[in-house]
């Protein structure tokens, strides 16, 4: 099981979205599908009874979770996914990039046109029809190899110039984490200050991520539209990560919390799917803020 799994929020169309991604990415599959219970739902979820709750799927080398819920949230460019095409691995990398681009822009919008840039001879940024953002890049053959897909944080709006602080925070929170490459803004660029991060990559728990401070004004920031699920081995891990990451009390619900940068984390036991098979487990989950594993077997917890 992947330690940190990106979760994408969809407005009742998670099944359609996942099928869209399976058709777009050649190396992809669904690994599990879970359903809302038929009874015991809170009033605001009654219409979801028996419908798909989450879909676990994999694109290339990264696992995702699709959350089938309401219209409260939608992904935005604050967290995107960088898709690397390495010509040293596949001779037709540029053609594969173009093929994926043409599928993702169907019904979507272009944020940066597919073109040559100083950092890559072929790069583009697209927001697909479901609001999920993708950066497609032909990588430098002389650079260090990276996974094909890496979640990417863009710090803009109220949190611009905080990328370095966030990376320091996260790499000290999770074991087996470190900052790798950093490119700084040499001079003020829009809201980005001199010395802020123009590009960086780093690991959290051994997984690769990307972060940058936005060099243009943005009217959005991090939301629950894209969250990061941390799969914990036991209650102690849950307690430790919750204590360290949760900084917005009103956002604490069902294992979800927000850090000081507004990034949403789901701090859950790796055995969560098994726990949800227990009687009245969904009701118990909905009553929790931080997840307490023992309460799934406590008849007085609901």
Non-local (6+) Cβ contacts of 125 within 8 A are 77, 80, 110, 111, 112, 133, 134, 135, 136
Q: What are phi and psi of 118, to 5 degrees?
A: -55, -30
| Cα-Cα-Cα-Cα dihedral sign, residues 56, 208, 205, 220 | negative
Provide the CATH topology of domain 79-213: 3.30.720
Inform me whether the pLDDT recorded for 10 exceeds 80: yes
Instruction: Sketch the domain layout of the chain as residue ranges.
Output: 4-71+223-297, 79-213
pLDDT at residue 299, as a whole number: 67
pLDDT band per the 50, 70, 90 thresholds, residue 278: very high
Please give the Cα distance from 23 to 53 (Å, whole number).
21
177-228 residue pLDDT tens = 999 999 999 999 999 999 999 999 999 999 999 999 999 999 999 999 999 9
The superfamily CATH assigns to domain 4-71+223-297 is 2,3-Dihydroxybiphenyl 1,2-Dioxygenase, domain 1 (3.10.180.10)
* CA R_g for the chain: 20
pLDDT band per the 50, 70, 90 thresholds, residue 142: confident
Please give the Cα distance from 242 to 249 (Å, whole number).
11
68-90 residue pLDDT tens = 999 999 999 999 999 999 998 88
Inform me whether the pLDDT recorded for 102 exceeds 70: yes
The answer to whether 121 touches 102, Cβ cutoff 8 Å, is no
pLDDT at residue 290, as a whole number: 98
Which is nearest to 34 in space by CA: 46, 52, 47?
Answer: 52
The answer to whether 183 touches 109, Cβ cutoff 8 Å, is no
């Amino acid at each position: 099981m992947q330690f940190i799994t990106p979760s994408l929020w969809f407005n009742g169309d998670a099944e359609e979205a996942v099928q869209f991604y399976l058709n777009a990415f050649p190396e992809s599959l669904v690994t599990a599908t879970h359903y809302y219970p038929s009874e015991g739902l809170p009033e605001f979820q009654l219409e979801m009874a028996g419908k798909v709750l989450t879909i676990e799927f994999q694109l290339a080398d990264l696992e995702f979770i699709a959350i089938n819920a309401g219209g409260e949230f939608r992904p935005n460019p604050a967290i995107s996914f960088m898709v690397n095409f390495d010509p040293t691995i596949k001779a037709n990398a540029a053609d594969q990039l173009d093929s994926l681009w043409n599928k993702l822009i169907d019904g979507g919008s272009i944020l940066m046109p597919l073109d040559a840039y100083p950092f890559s001879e072929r790069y583009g940024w697209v927001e697909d029809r479901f609001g999920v953002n993708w950066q497609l890049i032909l990588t430098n053959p002389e650079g260090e190899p990276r996974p094909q897909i890496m979640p990417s944080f863009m710090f803009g709006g109220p949190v611009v110039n905080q990328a370095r602080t966030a990376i320091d925070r996260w790499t000290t929170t999770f074991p087996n984490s470190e900052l790798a490459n950093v490119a700084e803004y040499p001079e003020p660029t829009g809201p980005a200050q001199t010395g802020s991060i123009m590009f960086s990559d780093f690991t959290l728990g051994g997984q690769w991520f990307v972060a940058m401070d936005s060099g243009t004004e943005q009217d959005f920031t991090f939301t629950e539209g894209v969250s990061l699920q941390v799969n914990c081995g036991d209650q102690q891990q849950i307690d430790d990560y919750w204590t360290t990451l949760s900084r917005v009390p009103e956002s604490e619900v069902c294992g979800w919390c927000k850090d000081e940068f507004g990034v949403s984390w789901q701090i859950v036991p790796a055995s969560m799917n098994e726990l949800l098979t227990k009687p009245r487990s969904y009701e118990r989950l909905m009553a929790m803020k931080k997840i307490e594993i023992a309460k799934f077997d406590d008849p007085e917890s609901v």
